[in-house]
Structure 1
Amino acid sequence: MNAHSRTLLTVICEAALEKRLLADLETLGAPGWTISDARGRGHRGVRSAGWDTEGNIRLEIICNRELAERIAEHLQVRYYDHFAMVCYLAQVEVLRGERF
């Protein structure tokens, strides 16, 4: 097995931001992403996934560390003050390194 080290940036935020975030990721050069619905409770209370724009989404991007940090910084500056959003980074091993 030939594994390659990459960074996983996970973003959990309001579903209403999805279109804006996808435009940002395209502009910032993200190689790809995965989006799923998310439910939970946090600083801003309980969030359900009952309505398209009321729930939360979980956005995951696997890329190099530099790009992950640049995307996270952009999200922090642009969205943290006005929207429910959490970002975290984790080191991951991928098998097809050329794709990330």
Structure 2
Amino acid sequence: MTQLVPIKMITIIALDSLQNRLVADLKNCGIKGYTIVEVEGEGLYEQHFTDWEGRNIRIETLASDEKVLSIMKILSENYFEKYGVIAFVTNVEVFRKERFD
């Protein structure tokens, strides 16, 4: 029987204009797959009210501890100070961990 195994899920919330750059960074860290959805919300930078201001996206991917640390380092060095990017990590469990690691 297949068992659940622990892995990390990293969630990144950013302006859609950063999508291609963020995806390239994820791939450079060895990420095999990701999910991107458009999101709405309000926080420190308040809600966007028009499309010309840009839309927000949420990128989620599953990764090993090592890859998560690499991604967070890139985000810290290249995004957090310049853009309204938010990132957080969640412990999750998956079947077929080899597909994500």
Question: What residue ranges of structure 1 are gaps of 5+ in the alignment?
Answer: none
With 85-94 and 21-30 compared, the bigger mean Cα shift is at 21-30
> Where does structure 2 lack aligned partners over 5 or more consecutive residues?
none
The alignment status of 1:94 with 2:91, answered yes or no, reads: no
1:74 equivalent in alignment to 2:74: yes
Runs of 4+ in 1 over 4 A off after TM superposition: none
Alignment root-mean-square deviation, CA: 1.6
Structure 2 counterparts to residues 55-74 of structure 1, below 5 A: 55-74=55-74
- Tell me the CA shift for residue 54 of structure 1: 0.4
Task: Please report the TM-score for the alignment, with normalisation by the length of structure 2.
Answer: 0.89
Instruction: Tell me the percent identity.
Output: 29
Alignment of 1:54 with 2:54, yes or no, is: yes
Scaled by the length of structure 1, the TM-score of the pair is: 0.90
C-alpha contact 1:15 1:53 (8 A) present in aligned 2: no
Report the Cα offset of residue 51 of structure 1: 3.1
Equivalent residue pairs, number: 99
C-alpha displacement of 1:88: 0.3
Aligned equivalents of 2:53 and 2:92: distance in 1? 30
Q: Distance in 2 between matches of 1:25 and 1:96?
A: 20
Counterpart in the other structure of 2:10: 9
Say which structure is richer in strand. Answer: 1
1:31 corresponding residue in structure 2: 32
Whether contact under 8 Å (1:15, 1:52) holds in the other structure is no
